[in-house]
Copies of this chain bind each other. A is one copy, B any other.
């Protein structure tokens, strides 16, 4: 009856007051003993620390944020689809941020205005000290226009057109795509198809441009019947649909550049089901080098994006920009190198 200790949420958490009382000092001293250890006597620090140990005190986050105007949290906005691609990024982000004592709030925008507005509000409520938008899908919401001045924002994978207010960490999608298609051409391919990504994405446009560049450089005319657009997302289903396009063609390509690994994998799978073998009958190149690319059969030749490193660098940059109040580090644009990873899915002809 008297045992309150078991499931009593009413056991009132211990506050700085309790610690101060026990240590026989003021709350100011407790606060200082924690934040600026050099500013208190060895003896008092000891007393405070021991009081803290005894009471099991943990400073209240809300109170601290309210006064210090910093929450030590960042918001990571993800599109919410094609997630396994983003997994290493999120992993890297969490690692760096939590190491520095920052919490990572994740938000999936799912390309829904409602959710974007929701997260804009989170930012405006001062709930985070910084924002990382993963993928070019920067919320177009009006709510967002005021936001960049409140906290630093960084973009990973694709910069937004008119924004020098953001740090950007991306790769040269156009050049990378051109390299891939150039590799196919060097292997003797002339009839090369391209499965594009989702219509409205920057990556899609850039990679398509790179595809065109490489063809042009080799003096190959662009054949619109080999550009398989509007495939949907960077996912298996897009590859499936593209396979239908392939089978419907009389004059089939000898190589296909898919705008993403998952598209490539879906495509290859559907081809197999239809009795077409990769790379025997047709070569396929992907983009991203997700963890499945190397384990697939055939192992996928693809462009590696350094996702983990992008995450790490972006996190470190954001950390820097968050720490310096006022005279802040200016936003940067870091373009990371891609790497052509040659495996089994493209063959010489």
Contact = CB atoms under 8 A, between A and B. Distances in A.
A13 B122 CA distance: 14
Interface stretch (A21-29, A79-87, A172-180, A221-229): A79-87
Interface string A115-152: 10010011011110000000000000000001001100
A61 B104 contact: no
In the complex, the count of this chain's copies comes to: 2
Contact of A107 (B94, B108, B265): B94
A297 B272 contact: yes
A110 B295 CA distance: 24
Contacts of A58: 121, 124-125
Given A98-B115, A118-B98, A71 B66 contact: no
A8 interface: yes
A105 B73 contact: yes
A59 B121 CA distance: 9
A106 B106 contact: yes
Contact of A87 (B84, B98, B126, B150): B84
Given A61-B127, A107-B98, A127-B103, A7 B297 contact: no
B126 A108 contact: no
Contact of A126 (B7, B60, B73, B95): B60
A150 B7 CA distance: 8
Interface string A262-297: 000110010010000000000000000001100111
A229 B197 CA distance: 42
Given A6-B149, A61-B127, A149-B7, A269 B295 contact: yes
Contacts of A5: 149
Given A58-B125, A61-B126, A84-B87, A104 B106 contact: yes
A311 to B, nearest CB: 12
A292 B260 CA distance: 15
A62 B62 CA distance: 5
Contacts of A63: 62, 66
A125 B60 contact: yes
Contact of A295 (B115, B266, B328): B266
Nearest to A88: B83
